[in-house]
Amino acid sequence: MEQVTKILYVEDDPSSVTLVRRVLESEGYQVITVPDGLSAVEAAERETPDLILMDIGVGGLDGYEVTTLLQTTKGLQQVPVVAVTAATLSGDRERALVAGCAGYIPKPIDVDTFPDQVRSFLRGAKEEIESAEEKSKYLVEYSHRLVDRLETKIRELEATHAELQRVDKMKTDFIILASHELRTPLTAIYGYAQILCSNPAITGSPDEADSPRFIIEKMAEATRRLNQVIGDILNVSLIDADRLDLAVGPVFLKSLVHKAVENITEIAPDRDLTFEFEGLEDLPPVMGDSKRLYQAVWNVITNAVKYTPDGGHVRITGCQLEGTVHVAVQDSGVGIPREAQEHIFDCFYVLEDAAFHHSSKTAFKGGGLGLGLTVARGIIEGHGGRIWAESEGRDERQLPGSTFHILLPLGNVPPS
């Protein structure tokens, strides 16, 4: 089968595109068109055309720059690039040639001669600048122009980066301030609800729907959850802004893990899961912030609980490895797809469909905001440690399970 000749036309003016396409297609060529410099580079790499017709004035990278780039791109060096441009001032032809163009066709194109011009470039025609002196003059001018453009772009990027940083800091400051402001009244509500809960004058029981005690306990629980969500948002912002303060002291991971498991089983008495522990008692203390480390471990263990169906088990092991302590939380749950094992540590990343979102810290597949592992990683890394996930994949029938590894250095926490 005869192969069609492919021509890539880089042009942002629709009427030129229509005309050139019509002329070339009637000659039997396949025409691909793109409107700017960066798309031209992508299209050339993807399509490997037989010829590229380049409007010099396109946006982004201009036609000269795209030509120079393509002429040094592996696999495209042999593809002729021809400037098709309305720039007809003295020197424009030479500028196109020093940038790497094989030739120059002025715009508007002459419909009668254009097919012959294209054919001749397809056969390998190449224009040259006759005088070596003139060529070197245009090369110097071209390199100066490139450096000028580069400098301007770097300045623009730096200014944009500084502006983004300023706006990002404003956002972080706002979240931190708003979280603190929200927490203060919430703590008061929670405290008063607790006082009411312990008041024997409140009638009813937690199991008696709509009784005063039932209502107050539900309010207290909802306030506690709200406080946790605000805490997660606050922590993520502090981690993001590198402002997570650590109150460092010796931390015994065994008691921290047991305390977290006790707390989780207390708030999830209805979950039928078996916990196993191994090697934790032999672990030396690590230097760290016990509250923050508790939060990290708690987040990982609640996930193990959330993503393991009833009847499953969670195994928490510890061992000392050279200068580090290794804690692994292994569950017999639904597992994590391999391609998501890094992303689950990103802010707001959840695998569950948001349409089925139900907010619970312990129910099977109970959803959250996707901040738990971001917070856990921020805390562990803030202690100079590492945390990562391992799983053979996600399968709700076979239940391959997941293992979360936490490595913490023995010795001092690195200064932040």
Shortest separation between residue 60's beta carbon and ligand ADP, angstroms: 37
> Rg of the chain over CA atoms, in angstroms?
33
Pairing mode, strands 313-321 and 30-34: unpaired
Please give the C-alpha separations between residue 218 and each of 113, 185, 199, 201, 221, in angstroms, as whole numbers.
83, 18, 15, 17, 5
Closest-CB residue for ligand ADP? 368
Instruction: Please state, in angstroms and rounded to a whole number, the distance separating the CA atoms of residues 184 and 120.
Output: 78
Please give the C-alpha separations between residue 406 and each of 46, 253, 275, 409, 414, in angstroms, as whole numbers.
43, 11, 18, 10, 17
Query: Which listed residue (289, 331, 380, 382) binds ligand ADP by CB under 6 A?
Result: 331
For ligand ADP, give the closer residue by CB, 235 or 299.
299
Shortest separation between residue 355's beta carbon and ligand ADP, angstroms: 14
What are the b/e assignments for 76-104, b being 16+ CB within 10 Å?
Answer: beebbbbbbbebeeeebbbbbbbbbbbbb
For ligand ADP, give the closer residue by CB, 35 or 309.
309
Kindly state whether residue 105 participates in binding ligand ADP, applying the rule CB under 6 A: no
For ligand ADP, give the closer residue by CB, 84 or 373.
373
Q: Distance from first CA to last CA of the chain, Å, rounded?
A: 66
Kindly state whether residue 368 participates in binding ligand ADP, applying the rule CB under 6 A: yes
Contacts with ligand ADP: how many residues (CB under 6 A)? Answer: 22
For ligand ADP, give the closer residue by CB, 85 or 374.
374
For ligand ADP, give the closer residue by CB, 66 or 375.
375
Site string for ligand ADP, 253-292 (x = CB under 6 A): ----------------------------------------
Which residues lie below 8 Å from residue 354, measured CB to CB, with a gap of 6+? 367
Kindly state whether residue 372 participates in binding ligand ADP, applying the rule CB under 6 A: yes
Shortest separation between residue 377's beta carbon and ligand ADP, angstroms: 9
Which position has the token pair 């393509």? Answer: 70
- Restricting to residues 394-413, which ones interact with ligand ADP according to CB under 6 A? 402
Site string for ligand ADP, 294-313 (x = CB under 6 A): -----x---xx--x------
Amino acid identity, position 267? I
For ligand ADP, give the closer residue by CB, 15 or 356.
356
CA-based nearest residue to 292, from 233, 248, 228: 248
Site stretch for ligand ADP (CB under 6 A), options 77-85, 212-220, 222-230, 345-353: 345-353
Amino acid identity, position 263? N
For ligand ADP, give the closer residue by CB, 97 or 344.
344
Instruction: Please state, in angstroms and rounded to a whole number, the distance separating the CA atoms of residues 298 and 304.
Output: 10
Phi and psi for 274 in degrees, rounded to 5?
-105, 130
Applying CB under 6 A, the residues found at the interface with ligand ADP are 299, 303-304, 307, 331, 333-334, 336, 344, 349-352, 367-374, 402
